[in-house]
Chains A and B, each alone.
Chain A
Amino acid sequence: NAGVTQTPKFQVLKTGQSMTLQCAQDMNHNSMYWYRQDPGMGLRLIYYSASEGTTDKGEVPNGYNVSRLNKREFSLRLESAAPSQTSVYFCASSEPGQGISPLHFGNGTRLTVT
């Protein structure tokens, strides 16, 4: 019963490098989200996908792109990493059609940009 799976768990990048964070869920949820977590800032929404084929910006989308590859997978791409993007990134999913479905989170990707 995997839930939400994120890869990689850790990553170190140099400024200007690019990478893609992967996320997959096996709960057949329609909605998926990418959050970043910084000390004292709580969780801030980067992008979300209400359903397969749609994506929308959250609070802090600058410097990121996303792809909703299919219903299961939602990836986050950093085209040119910056030190300000050092953070812990969480993917989450929910099923809004059944009342208000709480978010289910993965275990995070810890990214350091030097």
Chain B
Amino acid sequence: GQQLNQSPQSMFIQEGEDVSMNCTSSSIFNTWLWYKQDPGEGPVLLIALYKAGELTSNGRLTAQFGITRKDSFLNISASIPSDVGIYFCAGHQSGTYKYIFGTGTRLKVLA
């Protein structure tokens, strides 16, 4: 099945560092979503992007919808221990009910 290419697969960073992860696809999407999953829980929405070129922030998180509509990135500034988790991107194509997910980026923050 179709999946998004998400990188990196995992990251180990020091507390206070900035983090960057991205998703790419061979298909065009009309919406990009970024989710975070804590252990034992379901994914929780962080940021939703609806327009090509859109740059949206949510606290220390910033995400952008690529101009080509085939990619998106998520930045986390000044990481803290509670940022630990798995981050997923998801793309949605208009006219469908399906969301395609990336394989996730596992983030670990060292205090």
Contacts and interface: CB of A to CB of B under 8 A. Distances in A.
**B is bound to A:** yes
Interface of A: 4, 31, 33, 35, 40-45, 48, 50, 56, 58-60, 90, 92, 96, 99-100, 102-108
Nearest to B38: A107
Given A31-B97, A45-B98, A58-B98, A105 B88 contact: no
A105 B97 contact: no
Contact of A102 (B2, B3, B42, B48): B48
A100 B31 contact: yes
Given A31-B97, A45-B99, 13 more contacts: A33-B99, A40-B103, A41-B103, A42-B4, A42-B101, A44-B1, A50-B97, A58-B98, A100-B30, A100-B94, A103-B90, A104-B45, A107-B42
A102 B1 CA distance: 21
Given A40-B103, A45-B98, A107 B41 contact: yes
A42 B104 contact: yes
B90 A107 contact: no
Interface string B25-68: 00000110101000011111100101000000000000000000
Contacts of B3: 41-42, 44
A100 B50 contact: yes
6 contacts: A40-B103, A42-B102, A43-B90, A48-B97, A58-B98, A108-B42
Contact of A96 (B9, B35, B43, B97): B97
B50 A48 contact: no
Contacts of A4: 42
